[in-house]
């Protein structure tokens, strides 16, 4: 009766014999099969994930198409056209103010970073200069001591060379001991000079520390200026009677708004155009922004020492800007 190949292979392994080439090939095929099954399972999971995302995207696309169709139908009514123009003009004012606030925040953060980095480098350079001055004094003293010991050693060696005769035997012995002792001191002094020179070079070539980012105080200063800027824009638009309408345009859809008839809508559009020009002029009035920021700094309070955004109920006139999140102010604040 023939013995199956699998039993023969098992018998060889039990007897301590190594696997044949055929066995090794089978093991390799089995391992490859396992890896392929894992990859196939991963690809199948990825396929299902992409199908789910595709369904979500199709749903979002369908909703957008429905909204566009409804908007087209809405804009097809002559009596609604001016209201839509006024609505989107107000939305444009909001987006412009939001972009200005974000740009203002980014520019202030960059300037504050430059100031803090320069201050950090100045402190580092001042400390390094002080250490170099101390090291230079120590090095000068070490060099003077080494020069003095070497001069004394040279003089003692000359005296030793001039001592002749047996009657100077004890004097020569004492002088030799003195020369030998001084030699140890000279070696130590020269070693100290070398070590101090190495330390001086290491200090002189030190790399400035990396900048770890804005400090809490720096972020607070930027944030207060950003809030002051948002407050100034709110006041200017409020004076034009637009602040609340601009805010409402971000909370309601165009179908839910009502500005009156054609003349009222045209008036709103004119006021919105003037408001955009007024926002342009605001960038030149940095003194007003600074005065507002200084006022906020005097009254602002924070929840913890690490917080950089002030508590809105401590900001008085700016509290409304924070509460209603005018111009997306919280997005422009540094954390």
Residue 14: pLDDT over 80: no
Where in the chain are the domains? 23-53, 80-120+215-332, 121-204
- 244-268 residue pLDDT tens: 999 999 998 887 888 888 888 889 9
Distances (CA, A) of 54 to 5, 18, 50, 61, 62: 52, 53, 6, 10, 12
Residue 57 has pLDDT above 90, yes or no: no
Residue 8 pLDDT > 90: no
Contact assessment for residue 131 and residue 203, using Cβ atoms and an 8 Å cutoff: yes
Architecture of domain 121-204: Up-down Bundle (1.20)
Q: Is residue 2 pLDDT above 70, yes or no? A: no
Instruction: Say yes or no to pLDDT of 90 above 90.
Output: yes
pTM score: 0.69
pLDDT at res. 62: 85
pLDDT at 97: 93
The tens digit of pLDDT for each residue in 80-89 reads: 778 888 888 9
Please return the burial class of 231, using the count of CB atoms within 10 Å of its CB with bins 0-12, 13-18 and 19+: buried
């Amino acid at each position: 009766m023939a013995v199956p190949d699998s039993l023969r292979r098992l018998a060889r392994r039990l007897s301590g014999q190594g696997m044949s080439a055929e066995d090794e090939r089978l093991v390799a095929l089995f391992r490859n099969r396992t890896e392929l099954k894992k990859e196939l399972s991963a690809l199948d999971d990825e396929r299902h994930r992409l199908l789910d995302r595709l369904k979500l995207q199709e749903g979002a696309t369908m909703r957008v198409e429905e909204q566009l169709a409804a908007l087209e139908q809405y804009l097809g009514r002559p009596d609604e056209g001016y209201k839509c123009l006024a609505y989107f003009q107000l939305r444009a004012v909001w987006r412009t103010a939001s972009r200005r606030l974000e740009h203002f925040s980014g520019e202030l953060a960059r300037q504050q970073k430059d100031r803090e980095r320069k201050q950090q480098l100045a402190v580092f350079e001042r400390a390094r200069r002080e250490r170099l001055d101390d090291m230079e004094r120590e090095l000068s003293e070490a060099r003077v001591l080494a020069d003095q010991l070497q001069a004394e050693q040279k003089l003692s060696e000359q005296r030793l060379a001039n001592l002749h005769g047996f009657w100077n035997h004890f004097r020569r012995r004492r002088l030799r001991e003195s020369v030998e002792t001084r030699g140890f001191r000279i070696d130590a002094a020269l070693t100290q000079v070398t070590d101090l020179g190495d330390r001086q070079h290491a200090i002189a070539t030190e790399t400035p520390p990396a900048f770890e980012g804005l400090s809490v105080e720096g972020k607070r200063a930027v944030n207060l200026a950003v809030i002051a800027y948002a407050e100034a824009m709110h006041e200017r638009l409020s004076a034009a009677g637009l602040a609340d309408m601009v805010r409402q345009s971000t909370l309601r859809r165009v179908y839910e708004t009502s500005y009156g008839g054609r003349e009222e809508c045209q008036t709103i559009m004119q006021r919105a155009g003037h408001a955009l020009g007024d926002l342009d002029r605001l960038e030149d009035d940095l003194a007003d922004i600074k005065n507002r920021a200084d006022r906020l700094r005097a009254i602002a309070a924070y929840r913890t020492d690490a917080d950089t955004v002030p508590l809105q109920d401590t900001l008085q006139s700016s509290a409304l800007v924070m509460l209603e999140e005018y111009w997306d102010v919280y997005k422009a604040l540094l954390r």
